[in-house]
A and B are shown apart, each in its own frame.
Chain A
Amino acid sequence: MIPELGHYALMLALGLALIQGIMPIVGTRTNDPVLMSMAAPSALAQFFFVAIAFTSLAICYVTSDFSVLNVFENSNSHMPFIYRLTSLWGNHEGSMLLWVSILAFFGALVAVFGTNLPVVLKANALAVQAWIAAAFHLFILTTSNPFVRIPQAPFEGRDLNPILQDPGLAFHPPMLYLGYVGFSIAFSFAIAALLEGRIDAAWARWVRPWVLGAWMCLTLGIAGGSYWAYYELGWGGFWFWDPVENASLMPWLAGTALLHSAVVMEKRGALKVWTILLAILTFSLSLIGTFLVRSGVLTSVHAFATDPTRGIFILAILVVFIGGALALFGWRAPLLKQGGLFAPISREGALVFNNLFLTTACATVFVGTLYPLALEALTGEKISVGAPFFNSTFGPLFIPLLLVMPFGPLMGWKRGDLLGAAQRLMAAALLGALATAAAFAIEQGGPVLAPFGAGIAVFVMAGAVTDIAERTLFMRVPFRASLQRAIGLPRSAWGTAFAHFGIGATLLGIVAVTAWGSERIAEVKIGDNLDIAHYRLTLDGLFNREGPNYRDMVGRFTVRRMNGEYIGVMEPSRRSFPNRNMTTTEAALMTRGVSQLYLSLGDPGPDERVAVRLYFKPHVLLIWLGAAIMFAGGALSLSDRRLRVGAPRPAKARAVLQPAE
């Protein structure tokens, strides 16, 4: 009964999406306020029914209703509650349902919180949002229905892929989707502006919070996925330049660019056309990400679907939405009026620099990710483009970006003072140079460029601190006055500083762990010692442990300092899942400050020996802490007064709107 209810609710949602997609547009064309005002309630109703569908499937999963094929294939009643729930999106059908649920959720948010939007813009934007929703509802209903029943219900489910049986699954996909789908709002607003043929600075003010929110979620989603891969796959890598990872990195890069260009548009009325284009591109990359990951073009743990009709359907969605949006852009963008003059050396100039390098870096990732697919389609030749490609293209493009980053916030709008900014960054540059020198002195080995990387990272972090110090006149006025100023600073200034600091921290972590990490791979028997960095590990014993739906073979290691001082115990294991006849590696991590010891077990060898991989990962936690700091920066910026209450009222906004030409 419950699955049928969910299925039916999803069909109703499709119907509502069609209404929401057609009526308001007709309304804006015929100037009919009644039709236009249908957008918001139908968006809410659509969300209501999608939520019913989602909840129905969730109930099937939690109660282990194996008469539903999707539940049977991906769940098992022995799994803990949390995995029974999260396996909902650990498969193709369920993850697409999660995707549309989030899409409908965002549509409802716009309907509720967009009360101060101009009526026409809101009607158009919600209609565009509904087209996307309708396409995906149709996709789910025709090719990926999660509510299909099995005539004779089995007693037990097939279990979730063991790699996915992890708290990471509860966090990573929803966050990533919040990011991907959040960008759909910027897309809808961009299309709405193009349909209407006019746009002004207020547009950026309405769109920016959504972009910011999506960007925050995507940042955490990517970082979460990276940490999950790091501890789950058993070889301690945090980023593999895997196409699936690139698929999430591309919208992040474009979204970061969009975030910055929207600032210019909001404050200075410049870069309007560019911002619109970026909004379209960012969501297009999100769609391409969904396509790459879900279509089965790429095989990986993420590719659930290998049914070609689904791939073709998603491809059609891509062509229609991206092609349509770009065609509309080409046709209507010349109508949008340019505004806002600025000198090349200025805050705007710095933000344009940021955009230029971010989008170019994004383009190199795009080429590197899609070139193998294109080549195979055209010539049948199979190649792999791996880390070396991205390191030698993406890396050099990111370095100038990082070097210029601290200058941006210190420059004035319209015309900046480069020399002044450079003088104020002297201390930060000195710190960076010092860090480089220290890295050369302390760390032996590693690439020659690594100390410079560390120096740049420190420069970026110190630059972010400089920005705040400058704004609060730190050391120039009494401390109390500085504190007063610090409290009075706009939250968005703090947000910028935090986000930039976070980038520096992440970079420092990446440099340290890639350049100065160490690795031991060995076969050990009980009583053997393994030395790494300044730690000594001893294998004390091997034993078995039973879990709810698996069995662990555990190795117990004692960790001591070189001088014999006891620190703790690490227990890596090999976990075998009888239901899937599969083994996973459960690495043991020991955190020391922001560094980690990483230990994983390999195959048991002959005569009681076991293979182990042991890594020392210096400053590795900075990689994800940096992302958390970026998230915090976004949150601070989002709580800025300007974005909460500062948005202009509709009547006022109307007067500001420029006429279509």
Chain B
Amino acid sequence: MTRKQRRLVLVGAGVGVLAIAVALMLNAFRDSIVFFNSPTDVAAKQVPPGTRIRLGGLVKDGSVTRGSNLSVRFEVTDGKSEIPVSYQGVLPDLFREGQGVVAEGALDAGGTFNADTILAKHDETYMPKEVADALKKSGHWKDDYAQRAAMPVGGANK
């Protein structure tokens, strides 16, 4: 083979592998992307039951009820609309009423969101970015979500 032919083989192989990769990615993008929605989005977009989405907002105060066998129900709110969520399993350490939460799963026909994953948060000031944006959009955002405990206050010897 001449130098030119060899280079051609090399370039051909490179283009081939890239084409395969692009095909794989396009295919994966079609199947495995999950959209983020706030409760208001869910109502506005009329997300069909069975579509996997991420639902984010605040856990509504007083809405958490625990059933038997680790099942739990609560409502996710963005201040405008609420969506009931059911989940079975162990909740993340920082799951609390009034705090931000992101749940992944799908709506059932009755309008309840069946979550199979509740995303963990990392510290007490942490607010999932999607949730923060959604709250800002619905006008439910309070500045102290971000700033709570971010600055030293006086002696701060708590």
A-side interface residues toward B, CB under 8 Å?
A: 69, 72-73, 150, 152, 154-156, 158, 161-163, 233-234, 298-301, 306, 341-344, 352-353, 356-357, 360-361, 363-364, 367-368, 371, 381-386, 388-389, 392-393, 396-397, 521-523, 574, 579-585, 600, 602-603, 605-606, 611-613
Contact = CB atoms under 8 A, between A and B. Distances in A.
B21 A389 contact: no
A304 to B, nearest CB: 11
Interface of B: 1, 3, 6, 9-10, 13-14, 17-18, 20-21, 24-25, 27-29, 31-36, 54, 66, 69-70, 89-91, 93-94, 104, 120, 122-124, 126-130, 133, 146, 149, 152, 155-158
30 contacts: A69-B152, A155-B155, A156-B157, A301-B122, A301-B123, A306-B146, A341-B3, A344-B9, A352-B13, A356-B13, A361-B21, A363-B18, A383-B33, A384-B104, A385-B32, A385-B33, A388-B32, A392-B27, A392-B31, A393-B21, A396-B20, A397-B20, A521-B70, A521-B89, A580-B124, A581-B124, A584-B93, A585-B93, A602-B70, A613-B90
B11 to A, nearest CB: 11
A389 B94 CA distance: 28
A384 B91 contact: no
A523 B90 CA distance: 9
A364 B10 contact: no
A357 B31 CA distance: 23
Nearest to B129: A299
Contacts, number: 139
A155 B154 CA distance: 11
Contact of A583 (B36, B66, B94, B127): B94
A523 B69 CA distance: 6
Nearest to B32: A388
Nearest to B93: A583
Contacts of A363: 18, 21
Closest 4 pairs between A and B when the two form their complex, measured CB to CB: A602-B90, A388-B32, A382-B36, A301-B122
Given A383-B35, A397-B24, A579 B13 contact: no
Contacts of B21: 360-361, 363-364, 393, 397
B123 A163 contact: yes
Contacts of B122: 161, 163, 300-301
A353 to B, nearest CB: 8
Of the listed residues A155, A306, A384, A600, the one surrounded by the most CB atoms of chain B closer than 10 A to its CB is A384
Given A397-B21, A580-B123, A150 B94 contact: no
Of the listed residues B20, B89, B91, B156, the one surrounded by the most CB atoms of chain A closer than 10 A to its CB is B156
Contact of B28 (A342, A343, A382, A388): A388
B99 to A, nearest CB: 12
B7 to A, nearest CB: 9
B32 A360 contact: no
B13 A582 contact: no
A559 B69 CA distance: 23
A396 B29 CA distance: 15
Contacts of B89: 521
A382 B130 contact: yes
A356 B158 contact: no
Nearest to A574: B93
A392 B9 CA distance: 27
A508 to B, nearest CB: 24
B119 to A, nearest CB: 10
Contact of A356 (B17, B69, B94): B17
A154 B155 contact: yes
Nearest to A372: B33
A154 B157 contact: yes
A367 B156 CA distance: 44
A257 to B, nearest CB: 13
